[in-house]
Amino acid sequence: MATTAPIAPDMTTGDSDSNLTFPDNRLLIDLCGEFDKNLTQIESALGVQIIRRGNELDVHGEADAVARAREALQSLYQRLEQGRDVEAGEIDAALRMGRAEQNAGKRSGDQKEMFPGGGYEIRTRKKTVEPRTVTQRAYVQSLFKNELVFGLGPAGTGKTYLAVAAGVSMFIEGHVDRILLSRPAVEAGERLGFLPGDMKDKVDPYMQPLYDALNDFLPGKQVAKLIEEKRIEIAPLAFMRGRTLSNSFIVLDEAQNATTMQMKMFLTRMGEGSHMAITGDTTQVDLPRGVPSGLVEAEKVLKGVKGVGMTKFKAEDVVRHPMVARIIQAYDKHAKTGG
């Protein structure tokens, strides 16, 4: 466990210094990263300077930034003590979570009971998935707590990825008997025309993002076998009519492209022992002009209904390339100012 010397404020500049001592030099090497790339990432994100001296790190900068850097370094060192890796994504998560904990307080006891050890990891066959923002963490909690969960927000915030991960985790642990993933087969502003092949060949291009997510969590051969056994189904929204989906984890992706009637039809497919996750971005509706989005209506109608969780993501929750967040923020600003 790292030890920390008190922050020494500079009354003339508002700057502070903090000294951290790390007892395991091997873990400190991993914390710093190759050519100190991990320290460089923290310095760039927070505008601080980090100097290594033996088994100590000195952090210099503005008091708030120094405090955030210190907390991130301690959190990342604890990961290494637990035998977990530290990569760029984990560093970004530590920086985001540190600020969120300052603003929102510590996690509650009932959350810790839901995730053993106080963590929020989703364990699958191939990897362990961890939330990287406070909104993602609330979303993961909601996925395991509620029967019906809406994940609303821009691209790159992990809405569908985390929902599929939760479904795979529940399936592995025997909480559900099958996974069903669906999307509306709506073209994103393009007319692709006739597609050759059988029905699977025609709809697979629309479903590919769901296949990609599944293959991140389960070995490819196992995915193919489970699909063959129909324990995993990937199908267009139109194929859901008339079915009752019991003991299943069901994900409807790109739900903003479902009509009002389709959304109501899908929501009423839920059977005993099932969980549903509805994900979408209401700012990217590809339905024909004049056709209202069923997701927009469902958000209003189901708000406050018992057993329904609503998680709204923002641009700051984007965990893809940082440029994606900047693009979304620029478009949001343009829409608010009218150009």
Whether the CB-CB separation of 45 and 27 falls below 8 Å is answered with: no
Whether the CB-CB separation of 213 and 121 falls below 8 Å is answered with: no
What pLDDT shows up at residue 198?
56
Claim: this prediction has a pTM higher than 0.85: no
What pLDDT shows up at residue 241?
85
Which residue range forms the structural domain that includes residue 53? 3-104
Residues 45-88 have pLDDT tens digits of 889 999 988 888 999 999 888 888 898 898 888 888 888 888 88
Task: Answer with the one of 104, 134, 164 that is the final residue of a domain.
Answer: 104
Task: Answer with the one of 104, 120, 145 that is the final residue of a domain.
Answer: 104
Looking at the fold, whether 38 and 137 belong to one and the same domain comes out as no
Residues 88-116 have pLDDT tens digits of 878 887 887 765 554 444 444 444 333 43
Looking at the fold, whether 150 and 239 belong to one and the same domain comes out as yes
Comparing CA positions, the residue from 205, 258, 203 lying closest to residue 236 is: 203
Looking at the fold, whether 119 and 87 belong to one and the same domain comes out as no
Looking at the fold, whether 14 and 116 belong to one and the same domain comes out as no
What pLDDT shows up at residue 118?
42
Q: What is the mean pLDDT of residues 139-162?
A: 94
Mean pLDDT lowest among 155-164, 236-245, 257-266 = 236-245
What is the helix (H) or strand (E) element at residue 202, kind and residue range?
helix 199-217
Task: Give the number of domains in the chain.
Answer: 2
What pLDDT shows up at residue 113?
37
Position 129 pLDDT exceeds 50: yes
Position 6 pLDDT exceeds 60: no
Residues 277-320 have pLDDT tens digits of 999 999 889 888 899 999 999 999 998 899 999 999 988 888 76
What pLDDT shows up at residue 114?
39
CATH of the domain at 117: 3.40.50.300
Looking at the fold, whether 280 and 304 belong to one and the same domain comes out as yes
Position 13 pLDDT exceeds 80: no
Looking at the fold, whether 210 and 325 belong to one and the same domain comes out as yes
CA distance 131 to 129: 7
Looking at the fold, whether 150 and 298 belong to one and the same domain comes out as yes
Looking at the fold, whether 63 and 172 belong to one and the same domain comes out as no
Looking at the fold, whether 174 and 286 belong to one and the same domain comes out as yes
Task: Answer with the one of 104, 127, 161 that is the final residue of a domain.
Answer: 104
CATH of the domain at 54: 3.30.1370.10
Looking at the fold, whether 132 and 266 belong to one and the same domain comes out as yes
Position 149 pLDDT exceeds 70: yes
Looking at the fold, whether 123 and 68 belong to one and the same domain comes out as no
pLDDT tier, 334 (very low <50, low <70, confident <90, very high otherwise): confident
What pLDDT shows up at residue 162?
95
The more confident residue out of 11 and 239 is: 239
- Helices 260-267 and 294-301: crossing angle, nearest 10°? 60
Looking at the fold, whether 151 and 10 belong to one and the same domain comes out as no
**How much is the mean pLDDT over the chain?**
83
Residue 19's Cα: distance from chain center in Å?
Answer: 33
